[in-house]
């Protein structure tokens, strides 16, 4: 079997490219596996709450509704404060002296 310089260089180049491609693929698969593991654990927690029955997740549901209500109030206050000092200012701005 004869191996000349050209085929040896081509073989070395192919091995190098294969190593780089393999490293990129393994890194991408590791990243994708982490994302899928996070998503799976999040869905597992969600379905664990739902499968517990109405009494075990009622407090959690009320907490989420309360959190959503607080977010809505904060958004409404922030939007009304943006109008302070403009012709469209709400009476709410007078509470803050503007």
Each residue's pLDDT tens digit, 3-51: 677 788 888 899 999 999 999 999 999 999 999 999 999 888 878 777 7
Assess whether 32 and 46 both reside in one domain.
Answer: yes
> Residue holding tokens 């004869």?
2
Domain tally, the chain: 2
- Are residues 76 and 64 in contact, defined by beta-carbon separation less than 8 angstroms? no
Residues 20 and 37 in one domain: yes
User: Is 25 found in the same domain as 60?
Assistant: no
Determine the pLDDT at residue 37.
94
35 and 68 within one domain: no
Residues 80 and 60 in one domain: yes
The residue ranking higher by pLDDT, 44 or 52, is 44
Dihedral through CA 15, CA 20, CA 24, CA 29, nearest 10? 30
Proportion of the chain in helix, strand, coil states, percent, rounded to 5 = 85, 0, 15
What range does the domain containing 37 cover?
1-51
- Euclidean distance between CA atoms 70 and 32, whole angstroms: 34
Shared-domain flag, residues 2 and 47? yes
Residues 63 and 47 in one domain: no
Do 45 and 85 lie in one domain? The reply is no
**Do 81 and 96 contact (CB within 8 A), yes or no?**
yes
Residue 92: which of 83, 5, 66 has the closest Cα? 83
């Amino acid at each position: 079997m004869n191996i000349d310089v050209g085929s040896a260089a081509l073989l070395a180049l192919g091995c190098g490219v294969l190593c780089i491609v393999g490293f990129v693929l393994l890194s991408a698969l590791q990243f994708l596996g982490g994302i899928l593991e996070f998503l799976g654990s999040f869905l597992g927690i969600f379905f664990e709450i739902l499968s517990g029955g109405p009494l075990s997740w009622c407090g959690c549901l009320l907490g989420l509704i309360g959190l959503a209500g607080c977010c809505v109030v904060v958004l409404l206050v922030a939007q009304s404060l943006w109008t302070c000092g403009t012709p469209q200012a709400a009476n709410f701005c007078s509470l803050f002296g503007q």
